[in-house]
A and B are shown apart, each in its own frame.
Chain A
């Protein structure tokens, strides 16, 4: 397994090695040690490789991941797995703001807490947060699922489109056009699937509430001006 020690190896060497792989390459498992909060660790992966990061990372770790499995054995800075296309990103610790921003696919699992604007502008990604999430999470979320085992901060799901939000704990407040919705069997099934994928075994889908868009802001109406 190739090992990249970021205390002695430039970031460029790591990312260019990850990009140089062709489909079907033999060396598909990588280890990164001493990341020391480096930004842009393992960004732009476009093959189904595995990257184990031993320590905490800075901004945009696993950004635009397309098919890779990246595990951070530490915490992640802002924008982890931003615009992910496919694959899996697992953060063993906490994640800073904008986790999973604009993600289009794949699964992001945060085993600790996520800060503000988690899942902002999500476009198809699935995100499971074992802990709590901060304010303005899932702002303008377009599609995909956000599952929160803990609590959500203020203005959850503000200006939401079609993303589906599931929160097990309390929600400090809902954002404009975000409402609690009925949990139907298909939602429970999806939730069970996501929990299983995220390695959550001690929590039942029935413990969650579902939130989604009231769809009152979908077409501009001057009488809704106060909501904007």
Chain B
């Protein structure tokens, strides 16, 4: 009888896992880094790691269908003569015509308007359809200044100066040539078919002192009517918020690393910036230290998916939130009904992120007329409005359970944390304790 040494089962490396090996092979074959859309796909501490405590003997709840829980928010009360009044604190984040089809932009405007909230332009300027279908439209002021002009500045309801975004704090942008249709090219004053680079810094100001003067110029041009937002990526939220306030912002928009992008290097998306959860408390602290909490409003974005996420962001001190990726999904992005076509592109519904290539089967991240025609802007707008309504109702449900008659009355004391990481980042006690890392000398 012979003896065979037992085989050890094949063991793959945790360091060199399948995804890592595939990326090494892809890089070696192409000599090009991986570019994709959307936000980080790695798991980071998030709102899922927080829970609400609900009411108890010391706190009594509000009756779900009888007692009012207000969801309205006013943005831009600090300096603007015409602040923005929204019915829900869930806004639509900036996404460009160019990155998105005209139909998709129209659908975002329709959905936001039905829900009583705002939508936002992007890198590429304002289209007439977008303006026409958006009751409240925020006009982004970006480093590229593609499409920037004073007429659109004046017909906007607010101006958002983009310093950075969560998917790529410190990065510019690139709209690849295949998405440059005649109309996109014309709006950006560039030849058709060439890559359109968006600079990472503004061309005519550098630093917070210049920014203060830039804001003065924009206010003078628009006769001090429009709220001025400053959008920053989640990098140094305490100082960025403080500097934005110092520069004269009415609203600070803070975008964590789960925030999406139309196209950026994967290495950038996955390795630069902080999780949304870690950004909120430092920003709120900065506002409180300056006596400006609730006077300068804070909009948080990056991975907001549900009314629970909304409620948690507001409980941590935000005044409102913004959604981008979730809004695209509500329109129809990554819908399994296009699975056959996703397979042809070498991907699957739920994983499709080559938004920069312009071949989106759902007709959203494309300039191809045939693909874009797949998205009915009326029906898609209705879906977005439904989704916004559900999120708002969900947030109200939680707020009432915590005894709050306005979403803004949610507070950190309503929360507990499930993990040490979330406890530390959100400065919320670990469930069952009164402690979080950093508190009490630990």
Residues in chain A within 8 A of chain B (CB atoms): 11-12, 15-16, 19, 39-40, 43-44, 46, 58-60, 63-64, 66, 78-79, 82-83, 85, 98, 101-102, 104, 117, 120-121, 123-124, 139-140, 142-143, 159, 161-162, 218-220, 222-223
Contacts and interface: CB of A to CB of B under 8 A. Distances in A.
B197 A140 contact: yes
Contacts of A159: 197
Looking at chain B's contact residues, the main secondary structure is loop
Interface string B196-229: 0101000111000010011011001111100000
Given A64-B150, A102-B145, A218 B194 contact: yes
Contacts of A104: 149, 189
B198 to A, nearest CB: 10
A169 to B, nearest CB: 24
Contacts of B204: 60, 78-79, 82, 98, 101-102, 120
B33 to A, nearest CB: 8
Given A46-B150, A98-B203, A58 B217 contact: no
Contacts of B396: none
B194 A219 contact: yes
Interface of B: 30-32, 144-145, 148-151, 153, 174, 176-177, 188-191, 194-195, 197, 199, 203-205, 210, 213-214, 216-217, 220-224
Contact of A60 (B176, B191, B217): B217
Contacts of B145: 83, 102, 121, 123
A85 B149 contact: yes
Contact of A63 (B189, B194, B217): B217
Contacts of A82: 204
A78 B211 CA distance: 12
Nearest to A100: B204
Contacts of B189: 104, 123-124, 142-143
Contacts of A124: 189
A46 B210 CA distance: 25
Which interface residue of B144, B220, B222 has the most chain A CB atoms within 10 A? B220
A157 to B, nearest CB: 15
A63 B141 CA distance: 14
A227 to B, nearest CB: 13
A12 B220 contact: yes
A85 B150 contact: yes
Given A11-B220, A161-B191, A64 B203 contact: no
Contact of B221 (A63, A98, A117, A220): A63
A121 B195 CA distance: 15
A16 B213 contact: no
Contacts of B213: 39-40, 58-60
17 contacts: A11-B220, A39-B213, A39-B216, A58-B213, A59-B210, A63-B217, A66-B149, A78-B204, A83-B145, A83-B149, A101-B204, A117-B203, A120-B204, A161-B194, A219-B195, A220-B176, A222-B30
A19 to B, nearest CB: 6
Contacts of B205: 78-79
A120 B144 CA distance: 10
B148 A44 contact: no
